[in-house]
Amino acid sequence: MNQTTISLIVTLFMFQLSSCDQLQDAGKHDSLVIQIDPEGSGRTFEGIGGVSAGASSELLIDYPEPYRSDILDYLFKPGFGASFQQLKVEIGADAVVVGSEPSHARNRDELLNPRPEYYQRGYEFWFMKEALKRNPTITTSALEWAAPAYLGGHWTQANADYIVQFIRGAKDFWDIDIKYISPGKNESKISTEWLKDVFKPTLDAAGFSDVKILAPDNLGYYWEICEEMITDPELESVIDAVGYHYVYYHLPQLGHEEYASTESAKSLDASLWASEDWSAHDGSWKNAHLLAGILNKMYIRDRITAMQIWCPFDGYYDNTGEWKSTGLMKADQPWTGYYEVSPAIWAAAHFTQFTDIGWNYIDSACGYFESSSGGNYTTLINPEKTEYSTIFFTDSVARSIELICPEQASGRIHKIWHSNESEQFVQLQDIEPLNGRITLELEPGSIYTISTLEGRRKGKALSAIPDSAGFPIPYAENFNEERPGMSPSYFADIQGSFELTSANGKQWLEQKVTEDPIDWTFFNAFKPLGPLTQVGDITWEDYDVSVDVMLPDEGYAQLIARMGELPVYTSGYILKLYHDGYWELLLNSHQILGSGKIGNKSNEWHSLMLRCSGSRIEAYIDGSLLKMVEDDRVGRGLVGLGCSWNKIRFDNLTIEEYVQNPK
């Protein structure tokens, strides 16, 4: 045992007053006595997991093996890393959330006549399947954000059919049983009349009456639906779990009390969930430590029994603003295989490796040390009452605690695991109760788990993590190497859907969505003016980028250089070509830096090129320089391809570093 860990003191008697005085003199508080009563009442634990949505997982599927599997193991493999017990995914709609996720039914024909290839789009079905390979008992769920335009709105029969078809397709084409469905519009009020009168009957008629309903998945109007459930027995019978987002605010604050669950909420038979939460913006120990405190307090204060963390890992490019480092891991470099395992993985492990869905909280062994914004603890026991675990979160004060163990565990070895800023998820010396009691001194700023369970571990992948490196340049993509229907490797759709398409022995990249989806985004949130995809490195400054485009008899195509953070428009320098040959060079979507017209015919290929060299920006079409400007307002960024809501084709993308007057 090393000097950085706590000392474990096993005594034959309870602390006497003189012992407490010594502890207080050392900056500690009186010993807290916790009795583990296996017959004590408490709610059923329903798991800790992640929410894969807003394209947060988009780059993972492009990782090479073995690193992709290693990342999945850290997330889902029981007794290895975070050991997630739940996974919720977005029901895609080809629409911007933070990024865009593809729809399983882009039009009414695809909805009525499902085919396997529609369910190969994107990565969420694959992601659920990989989670289930590692943990077959994981609770899967799904939630809608935006919706395809043809559905006519969220509260329609067509949308009920669309959501139910997602459940059916998961089963038919992936053998995935969706356990919970959240049919509301993410972070919005749900139409409870639609839920009762349209969605639930549609779900039951399709043979999915065993799929439970989570609602409203709202951000705001906290616990309001519970009041309605109390006065509407039919609504109460429909909703199995009531879920709200960021009950401890965003960014999370342990002392935030405004959104605490109400007594009405706690009186319902429905479970209470934190159905999207935490979302800390960096992988620091501070945020990992906070995660543990919130997980405990959610039960102590709110009687919340499940928490879904957005997002499981950061799989975004680094131009997503505040979201770029959100998650328990970082996995945004598939071209190298590099990833980061953050301390929050091990904060989650303190809970998930020592519990299972179906365990029960013991209310009398859950509480605060003193203040509700400070240290806390929870205790859970298995249904057979043979195993239990207590998880402690300590704030800035050292603590002394005494556990009175249940009779059946009084002679058993107890395992103790500890995390602090210096090291996470370290197994300390085993301890055996004497006279049925365990006395421990707890360090400040720590997480501890004391459990009768054995066989837990801090997993470590066999393959060393590769070195980090920026996106490779020069880069060329002819879109011929991967199978049709998929997004090309390393491309991240922001709006619409860009897929590999082939005909007559040729293959290209094509934007597939022809109607602007029904929006989800909040006021002033990022939303490009049309379909958009990106690739590259936000740090790129001076480079040439070119792509071939083919337009039908309407619409436009865009080539974008130095695309930076995602504001309320598409940023960067944009070369835009319309179907009639009119072109524009734009700054940040709105300011025209140059314009003109070339000869053009429908279904004719043209080459667009942008050169960025310091403040000098040059625009070319078919090799001819059309405009040169001096502008230094955007200095670096990725490459983007954009277009109107038409089936626009792209081919032969090349990116090369530009060096002026090379020697």
What CATH number is given to the structural domain containing 394? 3.20.20.80
In a domain, 462, yes or no: no
Residue 190 sits in the same domain as residue 263:
yes
Using one digit for the tens of pLDDT, what is the confidence trace for 506-558? 999 999 999 999 988 775 667 888 999 999 999 999 999 999 999 999 999 99
Cα separation, 417 vs 301, in Å, equals 25
Q: Do 155 and 199 lie in a common domain?
A: yes
Residue 323: per-residue pLDDT: 74
> How would residue 24 be classed by pLDDT, with cut points 50, 70 and 90?
very low
Per-residue pLDDT, 29: 66
Whether 560 and 628 map to the same domain: the answer is yes
Of 435, 451, 467, the position where a domain reaches its end is: 451
Question: Is residue 329 a contact partner of residue 340, using CB atoms and an 8 Å limit?
Answer: yes
pLDDT > 90 in the chain, percent: 88
pTM for the full model?
0.94
420 and 393 both lie in a single domain? yes
DSSP 199: I
**Domain assignment of residue 254, given as a range:** 48-359
Do 290 and 297 touch, CB atoms closer than 8 A?
no
Q: What percent of the chain has pLDDT over 70?
A: 94
pLDDT in tens, 82-97: 999 999 999 999 999 9
Distance, in Å, from the CA atom of 404 to the CA atom of 38, rounded to the nearest integer, reads 11
Same domain, 505 and 574: yes
Residue-wise burial string across 169-185, b where 16 or more C-beta atoms lie within 10 A, e elsewhere: bbeebbebebbbbbbbb
Q: H or E stretch including 194?
A: helix 192-194
- Asked whether the beta carbons of 382 and 359 are under 8 A apart, the reply is yes
Is 644 a domain residue? yes
Res 1 pLDDT > 80: no
| Residue 63 pLDDT | 99
Confidence (pLDDT) at 524 = 60
Residues forming a β-bridge with 182:
143
Whether the Cβ atoms of residue 129 and residue 496 lie closer than 8 Å to each other: no
If you write DSSP's letter for every residue of 627-662 in order, what string do you get?
EEEE--S----EEEEEE-SS--EEEEEEEEE--SS-
Asked whether residue 584 carries a pLDDT value surpassing 90, the answer given is yes
Residues 6+ apart with CB under 8 A from 413: 430, 431, 432, 452, 454
Which one is predicted more confidently, 38 or 602? 38
Asked if 426 and 5 count as a contact pair (C-beta separation under 8 A), the reply is yes
User: 304 and 187, same structural domain?
Assistant: yes
Give yes or no: residues 31 and 93 share one domain: no
Q: Respond yes or no on whether the N-terminal peptide bond of residue 474 is cis (omega within 30° of 0).
A: yes
Return d(Cα 65, Cα 70) in angstroms, integer.
8
Q: With respect to residue 621, please indicate whether it lies within any of the assigned structural domains.
A: yes
pLDDT at 28 > cutoff 60: no
Residue 217 lies in a domain: yes
Whole-number pLDDT of residue 4: 34
pLDDT grade for 25, boundaries at 50, 70 and 90: very low
Chain-centre distance of CA 302, in angstroms?
23
Cβ contact 651:478 at 8 Å: yes
Residue 275, helix vs strand vs coil? strand
- Give the pLDDT of residue 30: 77
Sequence-separated (6 or more) residues with CB below 8 Å from residue 592: 584, 585, 586
* Closest to 313 measured CA to CA, from 644, 76, 650: 76
In this structure, the answer to whether residues 27 and 85 fall within a common structural domain is no
Tell me if 154 is assigned to some domain: yes
Question: CA distances (Å), 380 to each of 81, 363, 413, 425, 446, in order?
Answer: 20, 9, 17, 19, 19
82 lies in a domain?
yes
Q: Rounded to 5 degrees, what are φ and ψ at 650?
A: -130, 145
Q: Is 127 exposed, middle or buried (0-12, 13-18, 19+ CB in 10 A)?
A: buried
| Total number of domains in the chain | 3
Best-predicted range by mean pLDDT (3-7, 25-29, 213-217): 213-217
In a domain, 651, yes or no: yes
Q: Which of 309, 341, 359 is the last residue of a domain?
A: 359
In a shared domain, residues 24 and 79: no
Mean pLDDT of the chain: 94
Domain assignment present for residue 168? The answer is yes
Q: What is the pLDDT of residue 661?
A: 66
Task: Give the CATH number, domain containing residue 529.
Answer: 2.60.120.560
Tell me the HSE value of 567 on the side-chain side, using a 13 A CA sphere.
9
Same-domain check for residues 124 and 222: yes
Tell me: do 501 and 481 sit in the same domain. yes
Q: Where does a domain end: 329, 359, 389?
A: 359
Q: Mind listing the pLDDT tens digit for each residue in 469-508?
A: 999 999 999 999 999 999 999 999 999 999 999 999 999 9
Residue 643 bridge partners (DSSP): 557
Residues 490 and 617 in one domain: yes
